[in-house]
Amino acid sequence: MSSTAADVLRLLSVKGETVAVAESLTGGLVAAELTAVAGASQAFRGSVTAYATALKQELLGVDATLLEERGAVDAQVAAQMAAGVRKALGADWGIATTGVAGPEPQDGKPVGTVYVAVYGPRTADSGSAGGGKVEALRLNGDRAEIRMESVRSVLALLLRELAGEQTGNERAQDTEQNGGF
């Protein structure tokens, strides 16, 4: 269990908000990291592991033309996965991972190409591309290392978004006092 996962769940709990996860290359590892934290059920709604490209469209509402033209490993696909899982599972926040863990390239993208995305209350109204925050990563290492770094990266991105919403010392103190995780 990571302290990042615990911090994410603590902030969500303090805010009375929830998160849902859409995973591809991580194959359920993000959900496992979150549910390893005691009390996760207060904020974790669930996850969709859409490993097959067709499921990204069918279950998460990713645009079929986008998938056909760019493939599953794409920034906009990641953003749409995060938005789709947020809507499908009724969460305040949606996070997503898509990429190439190896050992072979996929859709013309080299091993280590990863996109992580967050879609939430603030990002949804920001008017940014795809309505969410997306980070493009170029990771090194073997398949396991790429997958674990993808988990760390998407949780860190969500933590930054949640922490960015905190206003003033009063909220920060409230977060510290209501740990419980």
List the CATH number of the domain containing 50: 3.90.950.20
The answer to whether residue 8 is domain-embedded is yes
The answer to whether residue 86 is domain-embedded is yes
Asked if 100 and 113 count as a contact pair (C-beta separation under 8 A), the reply is yes
pLDDT mean across residues, the chain:
88
The answer to whether residue 158 is domain-embedded is yes
CB atoms closer than 10 angstroms to residue 35: 18
- Write down the pLDDT at residue 15: 95
For the record, the structure tokens of 57 come out as 């469209």
- Write down the pLDDT at residue 146: 98
Place of tokens 């591309």: 129
- Write down the pLDDT at residue 153: 98
The answer to whether residue 174 is domain-embedded is no
The answer to whether residue 180 is domain-embedded is no
Residue 170 has pLDDT above 50, yes or no: no
**Terminal-residue alpha carbon distance, the chain:** 11
Asked if 21 and 95 count as a contact pair (C-beta separation under 8 A), the reply is yes
The answer to whether residue 172 is domain-embedded is no
When pLDDT is cut at 50, 70 and 90, the band that residue 165 belongs to is low
Residue 168 has pLDDT above 90, yes or no: no
The number of domains in the chain is 1
- Write down the pLDDT at residue 97: 98
The DSSP result for 103-132, as a single string, is: SS-BTTBPTTEEEEEEE-HHHHTS--GGGS
Element (H, E) at 7: helix 3-15
Q: 0.85 exceeded by the pTM?
A: yes
Range of the domain at 88: 3-167
Residue 175 has pLDDT above 90, yes or no: no
When pLDDT is cut at 50, 70 and 90, the band that residue 166 belongs to is low
